Amino acid sequence: MVVTFDYSGVGLSQSGNMRDISVTITDWAKFDCAAMIETVSVRALGKPLYWIGHSLGGQILELVPNHKHIAKVITIACGSGYWFENMPAVKWRAWWLWYIIVPLSIRLYGYFPGKRLRKVGDLPKGVMNQWRKWCLNPEYMIGVEGGTIREKYSSVMMPITSFLFTDDEFMTEKILNLFTVFTRIL
């Protein structure tokens, strides 16, 4: 059995006006991911559960309260999102995104109109603001959320296989090394 889902407020999980959706990345982990794990655990009838996460989907597992039900984790292109460590060709676009586009578009629209801007997709204001804070901090989410996140990372004890790509514009060698440090905490 394979399960995929849309986080609250995006894709098929969006209902109503995007401006009225009040959700953060932390909410996605605590509620959406936890509900998905709970549902699949019941249906899997004792079979091991594997978590496959791309980018943010691999970064937030430690925030999922019932992640201990997962037997193995596979992450794809998952590392720190700190903007300053992006490849040079992307760095100026990341600066423009985080310092200009995101604050202005959220102020104008009440959410991040990513589809219109051809970036990421439409995202609720709380999600984009939290992600922005993480991406502006050299220690990414740990630098923003503090020591409790570091403790939560250390609670993830299942085997993790990470697929990283040397030509990934967002994951420079320094970011990959930083992610390796984070996964050693595990």
**Residue 173: band (very low, low, confident or very high) from pLDDT cuts 50, 70, 90:** low
Could you tell me if 178 and 137 are in contact, meaning their C-beta atoms sit under 8 angstroms apart?
no
- Comparing 181 with 154, which gets the higher pLDDT? 154
d(CA 147, CA 160) in angstroms, rounded, equals: 22
At 54-111, the pLDDT tens digits run 999 999 999 999 999 999 999 998 888 899 888 888 888 999 999 999 999 999 999 9
Look at residue 186 in the predicted model and tell me its pLDDT: 47
The pTM (predicted TM-score) of the whole model is: 0.87
**The one-letter amino acid at 45:** L
CA distances from 37 to 33, 70, 83, 157, 167 (A): 6, 8, 31, 16, 32
At 15-55, the pLDDT tens digits run 889 899 999 999 999 999 999 999 999 999 889 999 999 99
Considering only CA atoms, which of 12, 27, 29, 10 is closest in space to residue 111?
10
Which tokens sit at 122? 């439409």
pLDDT for residue 180 is more than 90: no
CA distances from 40 to 2, 51, 54, 66 (A): 9, 11, 19, 12
The CA-CA-CA angle for residues 178, 152, 11, to 5°, reads 85
